[in-house]
Amino acid sequence: MSLKFSTSNESAIRAYIAGDKEAINLILANFQYFIRSRAGLLASLHDKSGIDYFDLELIGQSALITAVRTYRADATPFAPFATVVINNAMSNYIKQQTSLTNSLSRYGISLDTTLYDDNDNFMISDSIAKVVADNDLGIYSPAKIGFFEDLLPASLTPLEIVIVKGKLAGYTYQELQKMLKLPKRKIDATIVSIKEKWRALLL
C-alpha cells in the first residue's frame, strides 16, 4: 500500500495490521500535533509541580506506539482509542510525579503539612530539606534549607530523628503517631521542637 500524508489514521492502522510496518511512521506524524499540544497544556497546568514538557511529549509518543501495537480492529475507531491511551499515559505520569512519595524523593520533606483536619493553623511557614529558587516569592523563601544534613548540628533527640526519618519514608503524622503509640500532643510538641532547633541554627 502506498501511504501519503493525506492517508487517514484508520487507513494507516489497517495497513500496519496488514503487515506494512512503515505505516506507524505516518501515524506518529499524524498525532504529532495532538501530542505536543496536549503535553504543552498539561506542562503549563502543572508547572509548579516540575512537570517537564519534553517528558510528557515522550510519554505521549510511547503511548501512541503502545496503542498501535495493542489496537484490535473492532468497532472502536483507532483515533479515539489512541487518544484515550495517550491521555491516560500522561495523566498517570503526572499522578506519579506529584504523589507524596515522589515529592519526598525529589524535594525532601516538609513539616508544613497540616497535622490534623481539626488543626489547620498549627504549622508555621518554614521547611526542612525543601529547596526553593531564590526568585520564588512563596512562603519557603525566607526560611529554606538545602539538605537534610543541615539538621544534624541541631542535636535532635532520638524521637525527633524518628519523626524526620518517618517523614522521609513518606509516612503521615497520623501513621507515625499510631506506629509510635504516642498521643497527638506529644507528636505536635516534637514537631515544634524540631522546627525551633533548626531556626536556632539560622540565628
- Read off the pLDDT of residues 160-197 as tens digits, 9 standing for 90 and up: 888 877 777 777 778 888 889 988 888 888 888 887 77
Which pTM does this prediction carry?
0.50
CA distance 143 to 17: 59
CA distance 34 to 80: 12
pLDDT of residue 145: 39
The answer, yes or no, to whether residue 129 has pLDDT greater than 50, is no
pLDDT in tens, 134-146: 444 333 333 333 4
Domains in the chain, start-ordered, CATH in brackets? Answer: 9-98 (1.20.120.1810), 107-202 (no CATH)
Q: To the nearest whole number, what is the mean pLDDT of the chain?
A: 72
Q: Which residue has the higher pLDDT, 80 or 131?
A: 80
User: Do 96 and 102 contact (CB within 8 A), yes or no?
Assistant: yes
Q: How confident is the model at residue 154 (pLDDT cuts 50, 70, 90)?
A: low
Query: What mean pLDDT do residues 29-33 have?
Result: 91
Q: Which residue has the higher pLDDT, 6 or 88?
A: 88
User: Do 86 and 64 contact (CB within 8 A), yes or no?
Assistant: yes
pLDDT of residue 118: 41
pLDDT of residue 120: 39
pLDDT of residue 36: 93
CA dihedral 46, 47, 51, 55 (to 10 degrees): 110
The answer, yes or no, to whether residue 52 has pLDDT greater than 70, is yes
